[in-house]
Amino acid sequence: MSPGAKFCHRCGSPVGAADPRVGEQRSFSSALPWGVAAIALVAIVALVAGQRFGRTSSGAPSAVPDNAAEAMSAAAPFAGATGNGQAPDISNLTPAEAAVRLYNRVMEAHENGRADTVQMFAPMAITAYQMIGNPNLDERYDMGRIAAVSGNETLARAEADTILAKHPNHLLGLILAGNAAHLRKDTAAERKYYDALHAAAPAERGKQLEEYVTHENDITIALDARRP
């Protein structure tokens, strides 16, 4: 600047004021490490994502937790193996056929100890049976069994009572009544129903009712588990 000048002839700043470029340089210098860290973080995330995508695309197991994979599998209650690996067409199933598919799904999950899957599909299956309209004794047993394995003692007991009101010695009705008694922890009633089951079994099994044939395994297990 010229001797005695009070202002800079280039930028107009008063004599003695700090150079504004110094502040800009300091701000840039202080922000630089954070910018580098942010770029590094983005690069790491991109690298990890790329590796996982590469493993999944190459056919290696994905990083999906076991329980999530199970939930996704269970989310298709009507799925079944077909020649081309696709789910079967269920658009032509009757309400009764759809109910049986759901019954099988719930029972399979119960036998394999997958309580979460049972709770997921039990309400859906019960609704499917209720949509049949005037269900027969076999269908009432199915609905009651779904209720029993899902902890719905009220519905299990109601279906058992309905079956036994129509057929007092019906083996499936006695089994279901015993299940309901077990749920409400009524050991005396449970013992009474299983004693009646053993007493009625020889004559009833000889009738070869369709529902007895369908649920022969349930009858055998109940008789073996509750001996007099």
Residue spans of the domains in the chain: they are 8-61, 92-225
Out of 30-44, 128-142, 208-222, which region has the weakest mean confidence (pLDDT)? 30-44
pLDDT tens readout for residues 173-185: 999 999 999 999 9
> pTM (2 decimals)?
0.62
Residue 17's pLDDT band (boundaries 50, 70, 90)?
low
On the 0-12 / 13-18 / 19+ scale of CB atoms within 10 A, 39 is exposed
Residue 86 pLDDT more than 60?
A: no
96 vs 180, which has greater pLDDT? 180
Residue 195 scores a pLDDT above 80: yes
Other Cβ atoms less than 10 A from the Cβ of 117: the count is: 21
- Please report the beta strands in 117-209, taking only residues with DSSP state E, as ranges in sequence order: none
Q: Are 76 and 86 in contact (CB under 8 A)?
A: no
End-to-end CA, the chain: 116
% of the chain residues with pLDDT over 70: 59
User: Which residue matches tokens 């300091």?
Assistant: 26
Residue 16, pLDDT score: 64
Q: What is the CATH number of domain 92-225?
A: 1.25.40.10
- What is the three-class DSSP state of 16? coil
Q: What is the pLDDT of the chain when averaged over all its residues?
A: 75
Distance CA 203, CA 2 (A): 125
